[in-house]
Amino acid sequence: MNNVIWKTPGQTGTGTTYYFKAKYECAVRILLAKLEVINAELSIGLGRRVISSTSGRVKTWESIQAKAVKKGYGKADEKALEHICDIAGVRAVCAFMDDVYLVANALKAHHDLRVIKVKDYLKYPKSSGYRSLHLIVELPVYYQGGAEWMRAEIQLRTSAMDFWANLDHQLRYKRGKQEAVLIGEELKEYSAVVAGLDEKMMELRDRIAAI
């Protein structure tokens, strides 16, 4: 495949294959709708809000190209795009750590959602201290003339983990190598503190519920 176009509605161009950004945007909207329904169902059953916030995005073409190079493909052609699973991505921030698994299990129960891979960075954090639960999924996006199964990534984490991840990104961004190492060591320590806080908050919740 010599020429892949990242095409949006209304654009014109030539190329063997067109990857419509609109389809990935539809995948994001569908996943956000699913999370909204799951949040309503779980919240009614538990008597409290399970998902605090959700967000979604589609990678820019520049970001896709950079990831293709990073993965060793040299350019973002059809073969490379098949191996980039997070072109479409959504994130759900949960109140408690066990809520993350409740939401994940609810997603797995959807018949029109294929879970391709699970990356559990809660049980097995990254070396940086990053913690989150990632699901690589496929879902059908319907359009005139048929449907296409689109791949996307769902990130599930707690508010404390989300706070840590955002600060990690901000503090490391455009830092020198030596600075990044020093910052990274300290952030990894704080990640353990965050995990401890999540555990204590679950314990407190359960004590309150038992009263």
Please answer whether residues 89 and 155 qualify as being in contact, where contact means their C-beta atoms are separated by less than 8 angstroms.
yes
Report the Cα–Cα distance between both ends of the chain, in Å, rounded: 64
Round to whole Å and give the CA distance between 71 and 140.
26
d(CA 84, CA 87): 6
Antiparallel, parallel or unpaired: β 51-58 and 88-94? antiparallel
* CB burial readout 153-191, b (16+ within 10 A) else e: bbbbbbbbbbebbeebeeeeeeeeeeeeeeebeebbeeb
Q: In Å, what is the CA distance from 136 to each residue of 49, 72, 140, 155?
A: 25, 20, 14, 9
Supply φ then ψ for residue 209, to 5 degrees. -65, -30
Radius of gyration of the chain (CA): 19
Residue 153 annotated as catalytic: yes
How far from the centroid of its chain's Cα atoms is residue 94's Cα?
A: 13
Which residue of the set 153, 185, 186, 203 is catalytic? 153
Active-site amino acid positions: 153
